[in-house]
């Protein structure tokens, strides 16, 4: 549940999110199809439809600290299910962007760390590289040796690859990251 704190103190996030995402939040009629399909909705304290409703009701920066903002896997199921064609995943992206830009408090746990580790490997290798991501994540948690007993079995089953992925256009991916960082300023 989201408590809207600063409704009287400002315009809320709605217009900023609409500008970044290109989404018209007002057309959401709360059917909750986005929430029922969200793979992380059951794990998070917040559902995508609640985010939409809160934005509509004038929520401010308190929304940026919602756990779903960081747990969202960008799978786009919500966008695909919405009968109004609302790109809910783009709203989630916009919330994450504003959360970083405005230095919003991070939710408990290591979700932001996981996000950073994932993006860093994509920036470095041009694609996702699980071992690089796991190593960066575990270094960040300070628990490098946790769960290492699972590693040989995952390797044997081909669930993770030892070497970084080949192919892809690394330079283009790097350029995209550079552009995003420049557009967002030093906090990105
Ligand atoms: S599926 Fe679309 S219309 Fe329904 S609650 Fe989610 S965003 Fe709103
Ligand atoms: S994009 Fe995010 S909010 Fe939407 S269904 Fe996937 S995990 Fe849930």
Reported as a single tens digit per residue, the pLDDT across 127-165 is: 888 888 888 888 888 887 887 888 888 888 888 888 888
Percent of the chain beyond pLDDT 70? 90
Pick from 12, 7, 8: nearest CA to 98: 12
- Note the Cα 134 to chain centre separation in Å: 17
Distance of CA 150 to the CA centre of its chain: 26
pLDDT tens track for 27-71: 999 999 999 999 888 888 899 999 999 999 999 888 998 889 988
Ligand 1 in reach of 27 Cβ (< 6 A): no
Let me know: does 38 contact 77? Beta carbons within 8 Å: yes
Q: Is 75 in the pocket of ligand 2 (CB under 6 A)?
A: yes
pLDDT value of residue 167:
76
Measured in Å, residue 52 CA sits from the centre of ligand 1 at 8
Place of tokens 């970083």: 100
Q: What is the pTM of this model?
A: 0.69
């Amino acid at each position: 549940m989201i408590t809207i704190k600063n409704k009287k103190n400002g315009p809320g996030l709605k217009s900023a999110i609409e500008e970044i995402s290109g989404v018209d939040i007002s057309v959401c009629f709360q059917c909750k199809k986005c929430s029922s399909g969200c793979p992380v909705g059951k794990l998070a304290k917040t559902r995508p439809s609640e985010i939409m409703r809160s934005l509509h009701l004038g929520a401010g920066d308190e929304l940026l600290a919602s756990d779903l903002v960081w747990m969202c896997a960008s799978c786009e199921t919500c966008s695909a299910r919405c009968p109004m064609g609302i790109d809910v995943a783009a709203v989630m992206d916009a919330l994450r962007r504003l959360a970083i830009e405005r230095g919003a408090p991070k939710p408990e746990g290591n979700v932001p760390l996981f996000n950073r580790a994932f993006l860093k490997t994509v920036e470095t290798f041009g694609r996702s590289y699980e071992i690089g991501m796991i190593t960066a994540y575990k270094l960040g948690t300070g628990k490098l040796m946790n769960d290492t007993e699972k590693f040989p079995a995952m390797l044997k089953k081909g669930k993770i690859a030892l070497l970084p992925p080949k192919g892809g256009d690394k330079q283009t991916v790097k350029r995209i990251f550079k552009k995003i960082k420049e557009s967002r300023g030093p906090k990105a």
